[in-house]
Structure 1
Amino acid sequence: MARDMSDKEILKMELDQLKKEVSTARTPVTANCAETISFVEGLAPNDPLIKGVPDDKNPYKGDKGGSWLVIWAGGTYWYLFGKPSPFSLESVRPPGPREYDQKKRDKVIKQGFSLDKVPQNLDVIVIGSGIGGLTVGATLAKAGKKVLVLEQHDQAGGCCHTYIEKGFEFDVGLHYIGQLHENSLLRISFDQISEGQLEFQQLNQHFDTIYIGTGDEKREYTIFSGKTDMKAHLMKQFPDDTEAIETFFKIMKISAKKTHYLATLKLIPQWVSLFLLKSGIADLFSPVFRLSGTGATEFVNTLTTNKDLHVIFSYLFYGVPPKDSSILINSLLIHHYKRGAYYPKGGASEIAFHIIRTIQKYGGNCLVRAPVSQILVNDKGAAYGVKVRKGQEEVNIHAPVVISNCGIFTTFQKLLPPEIRVKPDIQERLDMMKHGRGSFLVFSGFEGTQEELGLESTNFWLFKNNDMDKSMDDFFALGKEEAPDNIPMMFITMPSAKDPEAKKRHPGKSCMTILTMVNYEWFEEWKDTTVRKRGDEYYNYKMRFANNLFDWACTLFPKIKDKLVFQDVATPLTNMHYLGAQRGAMYSSEHNLDRFHAEAVARNRCNTPVKNLYISGQDVFSNGIAGALHGGLLCASTVLDHIVYIDLLLLKKKLKRTKARELAQLAKKKLQ
């Protein structure tokens, strides 16, 4: 869809076409890869682009035809299947007993940096231990690479880490994950990088509640998981908008089934991707290339005038108003939970704990308190290692491949040598992105069980009105002093109510995390102060936000006010210190509409203008835990020059066949 398209009739025409294409959408990832790879190796013999070419000049005709076809087929097969897979069913074992001993856990997730812990003959250095860094690290380790992951914080995991204070354990970034049902691609991915050691608890079918308005004007809507239940339940709540909901769910289906086309743009040569897009050939494969560049508000305006339903279609906020966000991303976020919402048993830190052990199993390591100060680049423009600050000194560590999982701005603006940062191709990549909004979190601990306090595993999304575009624009335009008293939306999650083992680890205690988005500039004056020593003005200012958010939460959970015994607040400056998040943006670079136009997707890839330097995580494709994990898989595919998704899909088919055989044998026994 054209970037400047605004005509509603044209939008409706496009929408009608999308509806037709839903029923005819085809091709799994493997077929798509074969089709796109054919453009690398050569056009297919019957392609219309070469019809009419004289036989003596057509390599597919005459005596040469057979040999060219064999070379093309052989090259395609080798590219897709000729390299050993890092994944196998045999590497997955039954989950072991949960490790509750914090000292033993700390030896894995809090192993401090020293030179004697650095493996010899490194193949890969990964900067940052968020899920994107750990995913690419574990995948490369299983492919035979010796990997070192370096983390600036004192605990590995990035947004997947938890912290314990006064007997309360809080998740800082992982609140729930979707698409972890049996034999899903994401579940298989987690099983492979943890070798089967991660277990997930499925949350209640009613996983989200949305409140719009305040006081007597407050409306409540509930979101249910389930292949058919999600849509049916929403239609019950909006009986006059069933057609709009039906169409939106068709868009969700297209987005979910065809997003791999966008990912493929990053895996094939860039000139091929751009040729497919600019020529219009890509649009013949799928409408997903137009959807990715279509604004959410612009699109839903063609479906319904119901502003409450507009909120439902975009309620999973990540700092970007719906008018500036992609309908593809917003619909993907909702579809993500269609088959259920899940939470890691044992807490979010289980993810880092088990993936690091996979990296260690294959000769690698993950070390914390290891801030990288610079990426080493030789006179030929190739990365060959990093400098790590150790006290007052800097230590050089060498490896032929360097992967950054700390965001494109930190990587290009802070870690590259000054003479490399200013190069036009580096600036061009930076110009494609904008800084994301800062995150603000309130961590509250209560004496009492979830039953006593009325807490539940369901998440709550609160909006003061149903015009998300206006309320977000107005809020972010406020000055520093006005902002704390005019917060338009927030998210509430209760990790202690989600993890069935929380009662064993922290009996008699409950906790809640509240999140909203803020401007970094409101806190910027304290950027040069030290964490936990920023002064009374800073404390009083952040508590104005925290108190307003907590009071709003108390309107839903009145019992918590008198049971509050601990409270901690994280501002964008906190996120910068502990997470290494540039300007406190936990979702990394802004996920705006410009970023998701198909051509921008094709250009924003894992490899960088610096040879041997790669990018992983949320800045590669999309936000959240699943988005960052896929960023890691895309990065591993790029480094290995091998599409690991094909290996995952082959495992998925094997598991499906195994399950079918087991069911057949079970049915046979019942008949005997």
Structure 2
Amino acid sequence: MNGVMLFNSPPRARIHLCLLKGASRREKHSQTVTSTMWLLVFIAWLLVWLGCTYWYLFGKRSPFSLNSVRPPGPREFDQKKRDKVIKQGFSLDKVPRDLDVIVIGSGIGGLAAGATLAKAGKKVLVLEQHDQAGGCCHTYIEKGFEFDVGLHYIGQLHKNSLLRIIFDQLSEGQLEFQELNPHFDTIQIGQGEDKREYTIVSGKTEMKSHLLKQFPDDAEAIETFFKIMKISAKKTHYLATLKLIPQWLSLFLLKSGIADLLSPVFRLSGTCATDLVNTLTANKDLHVIFSYLFYGVPPKDSSILINALLVHHYKRGAYYPKGGASEIAFNIIRTIQKYGGNCLVRAPVSQILVDDKGAAHGVKVRKGGEEVAIHAPVVVSNCGIFTTFQKLLPPEIQVKPDIQERLNMMKHGRGSFLVFSGFDGTEEELGLESTNFWLFKNNDMDKSMEDFFSLSKEEAPDNIPMMFITMPSSKDPEAKIRHPGKSCMTILTMVKYEWFEEWKDTAVRKRGDEYHNYKMRFANKLFDWACQLFPKIKDKLVFQDVATPLTNMHYLGAQRGAMYSAEHNLERFQAEAVARNRCHTPVKNLYLSGQDVFSCGIAGALHGGVLCASAVLDHIVYIDLLFIKKKLKWRQAKELALLARKKMQ
């Protein structure tokens, strides 16, 4: 019927209808062309994005390689030769020309960033205010005794571990580590007849099974905690990734809930340790075990993920640097020097130079009564966020809202108090051992720490609730060679900076009798407590030195004497806070490194340095490290297969 109607229609109507049909076909064709064009645009955009992503991840030259790692050379025992590396005093003629990067502070975070950047082709200068490089990795020798000040033991250094690979790359294979006894920690809770003792051992399965033997009624709680430990070990790199990808993308993933779908690590990071362990068990002693590696923050204010990560850190063994903690700085500085850089001490930085456009372009160094300007297009600060933003930036930059916003994310950490004791006698004669001891007067860490830090200055020395004891001379097999017939012990506890604040404007070793008597009240209580475990040391004590928060400020540049830098509280480890607290700063070309970037301790500061180097290079160097790890595992598998074939022949 339609055909008949069309045939009988007037010519003008038929022409009009044909025109309509032609227009319709052209419109459809145009739509097809448009769709095709947009598809091609999308494919082109996708290819460009994939290409740029590939180039960002893999297109830049890696600073690391297997070829740079060589067998360890003979240990350098000549102190004068060592001092030329770790005690090289500042002068302008020792500053390399055409600098690319200035690093403020020679702690492990600064050295890690510096060495990575040096191996990437950057000319690096590390500046240290103390007379010896190394920060918390340095040691000091007095009266024939050598003391470590911050490094007491390190974990995750088993063969082909990521941390071991990083140390090998930064030192180019020159750092060696001694594995300690499997029983690496002893925890004592209570006093007198009420004292309970627990032991922590390393081993993939042994750590958990040993703990289950000591707490047979809490098997489910231990199983759950070890599951959290496993998540912390395998997924914490997700938190690091939040700092490496663009901040807007990190926040989008977190706020949209996508991150939580990917892993529980983001939720656990912001979970209160006390709240979680209370759901696992009512056994207060086990609560202590889950949080015994204290860093100045009570469990009620700390992250369960961080506490679990610290315990897991030693699951595959505890280690100590052969030759002492100063070997770390000695060998990493030599790497920086090999690539044209240098590390200079007695070089206190007084100001970070910022140009009219708000970009950092160098520093001022105090030399005698003068200030010397040194220029570089990139400045890395490893001296903590508070010192960097509140002391080193020009006043007009300090008050900017984005600087204050970053500062408000952090709180000052607790001060550290250390007692260094030297004894005439070997470890066998004195009954010392490589095992560390953690002592707690009771099993309520939250209450004991809260009560202690609320005490007055006069009450505090008589009410110390906890302490840590380590014997560095028993950990390093070469200590007997360097210091024969001598043994040493380091005791550590946490204190309030305010108890010592009245002497902050006095000079080191010239603070007066009142200060000396006050700090010795703490020291004597701690040492007497240690003598209960090691009674033979009391009569063999020939040297003792005491470090208060003021001491740590002077020698380590630690703000308010906090060796663990900014407080590692629960708020800091909320996933969004982790994403915002990154190496980039509001000041262009100024970057942060060390403990304030990621987490506390030697390993935490080291990762802070590697994260910082990634930010400066705009290249995720962890990908390079993971490729090296994969190659090493392949090599190990081939060696094992070859060995198996030889045995079968």
- Name the TM-score class by shorter chain: over 0.9
The residue correspondences of 1:62-141 to structure 2 (distance < 5 A) are: 62-141=39-118
Rounded to whole Å, the distance in 2 between the matches of 1:533 and 1:594 is 39
Post-superposition Cα deviations, 1:22-72, rounded to whole Å, max 9, x if no partner, equal xxxxxxxxxxxxxxxxxxxxxxxxxxxxxxxx9999999733343233222
Indicate if the aligned counterparts of 1:55 and 1:62 stay in contact, CA closer than 8 A. Answer: no
Question: Paired residue for 2:470?
Answer: 493
Rounded to whole Å, the distance in 1 between the matches of 2:459 and 2:389 is 34
Post-superposition Cα deviations, 1:123-143, rounded to whole Å, max 9, x if no partner, equal 000000000000000000000
Question: Paired residue for 2:11?
Answer: none
* Matching of residue 308 in structure 1 with residue 285 in structure 2: yes
Question: Paired residue for 1:588?
Answer: 565
The residue correspondences of 1:2-17 to structure 2 (distance < 5 A) are: none
Rounded to whole Å, the distance in 1 between the matches of 2:38 and 2:563 is 55
* Matching of residue 351 in structure 1 with residue 328 in structure 2: yes
Q: Which amino acid aligns with 2:198?
A: Y
Rounded to whole Å, the distance in 2 between the matches of 1:610 and 1:71 is 30
Question: Paired residue for 1:638?
Answer: 615
Post-superposition Cα deviations, 1:397-453, rounded to whole Å, max 9, x if no partner, equal 000000000000000000000110011110000000000000000000000000000
SS in 2 for 1:301: helix
Post-superposition Cα deviations, 1:100-132, rounded to whole Å, max 9, x if no partner, equal 000000000000000000000000000000000
Rounded to whole Å, the distance in 2 between the matches of 1:167 and 1:556 is 24
Identify the match of residue 164 of structure 1 among 122, 136, 141.
141
Q: Which amino acid aligns with 2:247?
A: Q
Question: Paired residue for 1:399?
Answer: 376
Indicate if the aligned counterparts of 1:55 and 1:61 stay in contact, CA closer than 8 A. Answer: no
Indicate if the aligned counterparts of 1:60 and 1:66 stay in contact, CA closer than 8 A. Answer: no
Rounded to whole Å, the distance in 2 between the matches of 1:321 and 1:512 is 25
Rounded to whole Å, the distance in 2 between the matches of 1:206 and 1:284 is 38
SS in 2 for 1:302: helix
How far the C-alpha of 1:667 sits from its partner, in A, is 1.2
Question: Paired residue for 1:331?
Answer: 308
SS in 1 for 2:212: helix
Rounded to whole Å, the distance in 2 between the matches of 1:63 and 1:551 is 78
Question: Paired residue for 1:569?
Answer: 546
Rounded to whole Å, the distance in 2 between the matches of 1:669 and 1:482 is 69
Rounded to whole Å, the distance in 1 between the matches of 2:450 and 2:37 is 57
Question: Paired residue for 1:446?
Answer: 423
Question: Paired residue for 1:28?
Answer: none
Rounded to whole Å, the distance in 2 between the matches of 1:292 and 1:356 is 34
The residue correspondences of 1:521-600 to structure 2 (distance < 5 A) are: 521-600=498-577
The residue correspondences of 1:368-517 to structure 2 (distance < 5 A) are: 368-517=345-494
Question: Paired residue for 1:623?
Answer: 600
Post-superposition Cα deviations, 1:457-487, rounded to whole Å, max 9, x if no partner, equal 0000000000000000000000000000000
Post-superposition Cα deviations, 1:229-279, rounded to whole Å, max 9, x if no partner, equal 000000000000000000000000001100011000001111111111011
| RMSD between aligned residues | 1.3
SS in 1 for 2:335: helix
Q: Which amino acid aligns with 1:659?
A: Q
> Computing the radius of gyration over CA atoms, which structure comes out larger, 1 or 2?
2
How far the C-alpha of 1:183 sits from its partner, in A, is 0.1
Post-superposition Cα deviations, 1:591-623, rounded to whole Å, max 9, x if no partner, equal 000000000000000010000000000000000
Rounded to whole Å, the distance in 2 between the matches of 1:69 and 1:587 is 44
Q: Which amino acid aligns with 1:282?
A: A
Q: Which amino acid aligns with 1:549?
A: L
How high is the TM-score relative to the length of structure 2?
0.94
Rounded to whole Å, the distance in 2 between the matches of 1:487 and 1:372 is 36
Q: Which amino acid aligns with 1:483?
A: A
Residues 66, 104 of structure 1: alpha-carbon distance in 2 compared, 3 angstrom cutoff: same
Q: How many residues end up aligned between the 2 structures?
A: 619
Residues 55, 220 of structure 1: alpha-carbon distance in 2 compared, 3 angstrom cutoff: farther
Residues 305, 662 of structure 1: alpha-carbon distance in 2 compared, 3 angstrom cutoff: same
Indicate if the aligned counterparts of 1:130 and 1:157 stay in contact, CA closer than 8 A. Answer: yes
The residue correspondences of 1:165-314 to structure 2 (distance < 5 A) are: 165-314=142-291
Residues 507, 327 of structure 1: alpha-carbon distance in 2 compared, 3 angstrom cutoff: same
Residues 57, 270 of structure 1: alpha-carbon distance in 2 compared, 3 angstrom cutoff: farther
Indicate if the aligned counterparts of 1:113 and 1:368 stay in contact, CA closer than 8 A. Answer: yes
Rounded to whole Å, the distance in 2 between the matches of 1:92 and 1:230 is 32
Rounded to whole Å, the distance in 1 between the matches of 2:43 and 2:574 is 39
Rounded to whole Å, the distance in 2 between the matches of 1:524 and 1:159 is 22
Question: Paired residue for 1:520?
Answer: 497
Post-superposition Cα deviations, 1:171-202, rounded to whole Å, max 9, x if no partner, equal 00000000000000000000000000000000
SS in 1 for 2:39: coil
Indicate if the aligned counterparts of 1:293 and 1:593 stay in contact, CA closer than 8 A. Answer: yes
Q: Which amino acid aligns with 1:245?
A: I
How far the C-alpha of 1:312 sits from its partner, in A, is 0.1
Q: 5+ residue gaps in structure 2?
A: 1-30
Rounded to whole Å, the distance in 1 between the matches of 2:58 and 2:205 is 36
Q: Which amino acid aligns with 1:189?
A: I
Indicate if the aligned counterparts of 1:270 and 1:602 stay in contact, CA closer than 8 A. Answer: yes
Q: Which amino acid aligns with 2:345?
A: V
